[in-house]
């Protein structure tokens, strides 16, 4: 019982802390997240492909100029 009480007390204090945190409107938070993604689009090879650098995992072409 004592252990359960202790556990419940810590759950309650966690909930109290959580209720008290500052929040941002979802629209604002999402706009910021979207901005981050768009700003980093070009360095994202899996999304935008290898425009700047060579894909290190691509098999070398079997033809080469000797």
| Chain residues that interact with other proteins, rule: CB under 8 A | 1-2, 4-5, 8-12, 14-19, 21, 23-34, 36-41, 43-47, 49-50, 53, 55-59
Rounded to whole angstroms, the Cα distance separating 44 from 58 reads 17
Quick check: 8 and 15 in contact, CB under 8 A?
no
To other proteins, the closest distance from the beta carbon of 65 in angstroms equals 23
CA atoms within 13 A on the CB side of 28: 3
To other proteins, the closest distance from the beta carbon of 66 in angstroms equals 23
Closest to other proteins by CB, 39 or 66: 39
Handedness of CA 35, 36, 42, 44 (dihedral sign): negative
Closest to other proteins by CB, 25 or 65: 25
């Amino acid at each position: 019982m004592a252990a359960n009480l202790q556990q419940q007390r810590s759950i309650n204090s966690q909930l109290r802390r959580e209720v008290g945190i500052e929040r941002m409107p979802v629209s604002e938070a999402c706009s910021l997240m979207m901005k981050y993604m768009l700003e980093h689009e070009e360095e994202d090879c899996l999304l935008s492909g290898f425009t700047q650098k060579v894909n290190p995992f691509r098999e070398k072409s079997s033809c080469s100029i000797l």
